[in-house]
Amino acid sequence: MLRGFFILLSKVPWAQRVITRWGVARRAARRFVAGDTIADALQAALALNQAGMQVSLDPLGENTTHAEGAEAAAQEILTLLDSLHAHELRANVSIKLSQLGLALDENLCRQLLGKILARAGERGVFIRIDMEDASLTERTLEMFHWARQQSEGVGVVIQAYLYRSEADLMRLREVQGKVRLCKGAYREGADVAFPQKSAVNRNYDHLVKVLLESARAAGTPLLSADGRTPPLAAVATHDPARIAFAEAEMARQGLPKGSVEFQMLYGIRRDLQETLVRQGHAVRVYVPYGTHWYPYFMRRLAERPENVRFFLSNLFRK
């Protein structure tokens, strides 16, 4: 219930206006968001690189409601790509197509994505297309398949809570699409997604197996030497049981360390991130930055009741 409430809240404009004005909310969000500016993000990326981890930078933004907003988001991403080139960090970039206007005007979105892919190609930076709520799944995958024809330096995300995901993975296998597998962060109906967590976990393990088979079939490409291009398979979770399953599956399929990337979010389970690095695994941390932190923060609260309690106790202490 709590999860549903916070995900609903993430979409309510008046709640966004009220909550983003609270200094205490901004400070709480900083646990999950590196800061407001590209400079903040680059600083966080450098520290993570020094700790042996790769990074994916996320210029926060989603559900843009007008063309100017989509163009401004694209411009921010282009500037980030230029900055990454200048700093030689082991980092790539994650984007959301709704920030480029996918729900508004598909042609505009395609045109902006094309510009981003061209610049990313020049700068040698891989682009990951995040997955959003189920109303955008089909359009996001269609756009990814178009993007994959333009560039090899692009990957997408598959959510284990959706019934359709195995079929989507099989289609991605045909184009050797680079995939980040996550559980899924939105609130979906039982008509499209497994309602129970145990079923999502079971499907996650099943999809890990399918994804790792794709990696083996593709000749197990490793993480690139500059740390920017991930291997074909990325296992994105903080769930120790899912990670243990993926490790066992790597061993069973004879996949070496570095042929599967473990990905986690900035501010969550740093201890686990460090353990995996010590064990010799490739680890990438997803680092969001920017002023549009509200929906992202609400989704992080939704995932864990302890986060809400912590946030509320701070709120009422002030």
Ligand X SMILES: Cc1cc2nc3c(=O)[nH]c(=O)nc-3n(C[C@H](O)[C@H](O)[C@H](O)COP(=O)(O)OP(=O)(O)OC[C@H]3O[C@@H](n4cnc5c(N)ncnc54)[C@H](O)[C@@H]3O)c2cc1C
Which residues make up the interface to ligand X (CB under 6 A)?
Answer: 130-131, 157, 159, 180, 182-186, 236-239, 263-265, 268-269, 286, 300, 303-304, 307
Q: Which of 58, 130, 133, 168 is catalytic?
A: 130
Beta carbon nearer to ligand X, 85 or 304: 304
Beta carbon nearer to ligand X, 112 or 287: 287
Q: How far apart are CA 79 and CA 86, in angstroms?
A: 11
In single-letter form, the type of residue at position 228 comes to R
Name the E strands within the chain: 54-59, 91-95, 127-129, 154-159, 178-182, 233-236, 260-265, 282-289
Element (H, E) at 11: none
| 299 known ligand binder | yes
Q: Active site includes 180?
A: yes
Nearest approach, Cβ of residue 122 and ligand X (Å): 25
Nearest approach, Cβ of residue 53 and ligand X (Å): 11
| 131 known ligand binder | yes
| 197 known ligand binder | yes
Element (H, E) at 82: helix 67-87
| 159 known ligand binder | yes
Nearest approach, Cβ of residue 304 and ligand X (Å): 4
Distance (Å) of CA 216 to CA 52, 221, 232: 25, 8, 9
Q: How far apart are CA 115 and CA 120, in angstroms?
A: 9
Beta carbon nearer to ligand X, 86 or 307: 307
What number of other Cβ atoms are within 10 A of residue 65's Cβ? 12
| 257 known ligand binder | no
Distance (Å) of CA 262 to CA 44, 115, 213, 244, 283: 18, 29, 16, 11, 5
Nearest approach, Cβ of residue 285 and ligand X (Å): 7
| 300 known ligand binder | yes
Q: Which of 110, 173, 180, 187 is catalytic?
A: 180
Beta carbon nearer to ligand X, 35 or 295: 295
Beta carbon nearer to ligand X, 183 or 281: 183
Nearest approach, Cβ of residue 20 and ligand X (Å): 19
Q: Find the Cα–Cα–Cα–Cα dihedral 56, 117, 59, 69, rounded to 10°.
A: -170
Q: Active site includes 228?
A: no
Q: Please report, in range form, the residues annotated as the binding site for substrate.
A: 96, 299-300
Q: Please report, in range form, the residues annotated as the binding site for FAD.
A: 131, 159, 183-185, 197, 237-238
Q: Please report, in range form, the residues annotated as the binding site.
A: 96, 131, 159, 183-185, 197, 237-238, 299-300
Q: Which residue numbers are catalytic?
A: 130, 180
